[in-house]
Structure 1
């Protein structure tokens, strides 16, 4: 059902990449779930008058790709996010294919935390997102 990776099995430098095409359906579901009805995401006429010239996919939805790659492909589902920082370095448009590269930057045994970082690029090789976040892992249940 989901990957349970023990904290002890994770190491600094562990890394994974995954790609996803951001679709109109992705945006519609995110917008409906969050109520983020910013016109730059939903109104083509409005968005055409911005510096981007067309509608953008919601940035925090794109940031969510980092956490999904992290939990599905690298660190498993046990860690709980306690701090997240995202830098939106370029626009993401519906139809863009985004490649997310996620790696473990720090591991702190005493606090059972991992610091992970990520970078996302579009199909043109332009960076669109950077991330740095901390995950806290539960202590194992006594045997």
Structure 2
């Protein structure tokens, strides 16, 4: 069942969060669906020579965790994204657990849009993601 909330059901300050351990399997599914087989994500020898010293989880995959929290737990499936901005503020390695929080930061009645923000930290408290985006809602629910 999909979460369905109308524009009027959602308020500034509403928030939701999730904790997820990022795995090799997550990256394999991500790469299979996007074609992003960058060596920093999959080639141990290549990654060992990088400034990180080991393989990184794809940042945009981590950002996807924020958007999944948004639709599954916070605003539902009626709003569509019209603007997204992600800042990758720290590395996420396979096996890291990320805590992702998403909240509604502004709501505009006339345009039926709302802004949301997100932050993700890993188990040691390091921030790894900041996001802000805008959703547009239909005049009536489906």
Pairwise same-fold verdict (TM > 0.5): yes
Q: What is the aligned residue count?
A: 141
Q: What is the deviation of 1:87?
A: 0.1
Q: Which residue of structure 2 aligns with residue 79 of structure 1?
A: 79
User: What is the alpha-carbon distance in structure 1 between the residues aligned to residue 45 and residue 88 of structure 2?
Assistant: 23
Q: Which residue of structure 1 aligns with residue 23 of structure 2?
A: 23
Q: Which residue of structure 2 aligns with residue 136 of structure 1?
A: 136
1:70 matched to 2:70: yes
Q: What is the deviation of 1:16?
A: 1.2
Q: Which residue of structure 1 aligns with residue 102 of structure 2?
A: 102
- Relative to the length of structure 2, the TM-score reads 0.97
Q: Which residue of structure 1 aligns with residue 50 of structure 2?
A: 50
- Residues 90-111 of structure 1: per-residue CA shift (max 9 Å, x gap): 0001111000010000000110
* Unmatched tracts of structure 1, length 5 or more: none
Q: Which residue of structure 1 aligns with residue 33 of structure 2?
A: 33
Q: Which residue of structure 2 aligns with residue 93 of structure 1?
A: 93
* Unmatched tracts of structure 2, length 5 or more: none
- Relative to the length of structure 1, the TM-score reads 0.97
1:121 matched to 2:121: yes
Q: What is the deviation of 1:32?
A: 1.1
User: What is the alpha-carbon distance in structure 1 between the residues aligned to residue 73 and residue 126 of structure 2?
Assistant: 23
* C-alpha RMSD of matched pairs (Å): 0.7
